[in-house]
Amino acid sequence: MTALPDFNSKPARAAYIGQQLAALYPETPIPLDHSDAYTLLVAVLLSAQCTDKRVNLVTPPLWALANTPAAMAQVSVAQIQAIIRPCGLSPQKAKAIAGLSRILLEQHAGRVPQTFAELEELPGVGHKTASVVMSQAFGVPAFPVDTHIHRLAQRWKLTNGRNVVQTEVDLKQLFAPEQWNQLHLRMIFYGREHCTARGCDGTICGICQTLFPERKRAVRTKK
């Protein structure tokens, strides 16, 4: 008889999770429609407090209007806002898109910079957005932590969940850098499909049941 893994060990849980998610999601397509680093950057900015599905409905008319920094810099903030309004926070996002487009032209020869520091200096671009662009546009190992990843990492006891910054640190320590870019997408996919905010409380989905078969109480996610 094969002995069950010792899931009391955090590295053992991480290894099992990595294997299961790779089997479930061998391919990791980026959920946001885009054609290059610039359109990905704008799409990720738009996705703050908005679903990827809605962003993908909003971006085609935005790209039809302007899909390069040079073209976007010629568009008024009001025009941008009128298109992206369904995404929410449209006044701030429209100003950020206009502002970062001008900065890319003035300071980066119209190209999206390839460092975290330069990306995070752009209007509306925080660490998570920069991490998505660095990982998915440029292939640099990064582990962007969204609400799904933050929730799952707590339910699977991979982090204490104190905040998303700590969750990112803990996950980077548990998984090899060459896994990060695909794994963060796999965790998002699993969090949307199986270990959802309301559909699983840490006791229902397959991974939660396997890792914690004796768990009786729901896991309360720290924000």
Give the model's pLDDT for residue 162.
84
CATH code of the domain covering residue 199 = 1.10.1670.10
Looking at the structure, tell me whether residues 45 and 126 fall in a common domain. yes
Q: What is the mean pLDDT of the chain?
A: 94
pLDDT tops 70 at residue 2: no
Looking at the structure, tell me whether residues 131 and 80 fall in a common domain. yes
Give the model's pLDDT for residue 4.
56
Give the model's pLDDT for residue 116.
97
Q: What is the pLDDT of residues 39-90, one digit of tens each?
A: 999 999 999 989 999 999 999 999 999 999 999 999 999 999 999 999 989 9
Looking at the structure, tell me whether residues 61 and 107 fall in a common domain. yes
Give the model's pLDDT for residue 161.
78
Give the model's pLDDT for residue 223.
78
Looking at the structure, tell me whether residues 133 and 147 fall in a common domain. no
Q: What is the pLDDT of residues 156-181, one digit of tens each?
A: 999 987 899 999 999 999 999 999 99
Give the model's pLDDT for residue 3.
55
Give the model's pLDDT for residue 1.
43
Domain containing 153 equals 10-28+143-211
Give the model's pLDDT for residue 220.
87
SS (H, E, C) the chain: CCCCCCCCCHHHHHHHHHHHHHHHCCCCCCCCCCCCHHHHHHHHHHCCCCCHHHHHHHHHHHHHHCCCHHHHCCCCHHHHHHHHHHHCCHHHHHHHHHHHHHHHHHHCCCCCCCCHHHHHCCCCCCHHHHHHHHHHHHCCCCCCCCHHHHHHHHHCCCCCCCCHHHHHHHHHHHCCHHHHHHHHHHHHHHHHHCCCCCCCCCCCCHHHHHHCCCCCCCCCCCC
Looking at the structure, tell me whether residues 76 and 121 fall in a common domain. yes
Whether residue 63 is contained in a domain is answered as yes
**Poorest-pLDDT segment among 2-16, 57-71, 187-201:** 2-16
What does pTM read for this prediction?
A: 0.90
Domain boundary residue, one of 79, 107, 138: 138
Looking at the structure, tell me whether residues 24 and 85 fall in a common domain. no
Q: What is the pLDDT of residues 103-152, one digit of tens each?
A: 999 999 999 999 999 999 999 999 999 999 999 999 999 999 999 999 99
Looking at the structure, tell me whether residues 94 and 151 fall in a common domain. no
Give the model's pLDDT for residue 64.
96
Give the model's pLDDT for residue 115.
97
Q: Give the percent of the chain with pLDDT over 90.
A: 89
Whether residue 16 is contained in a domain is answered as yes
Residues that are catalytic:
128, 146
Total count of domains within the chain: 2
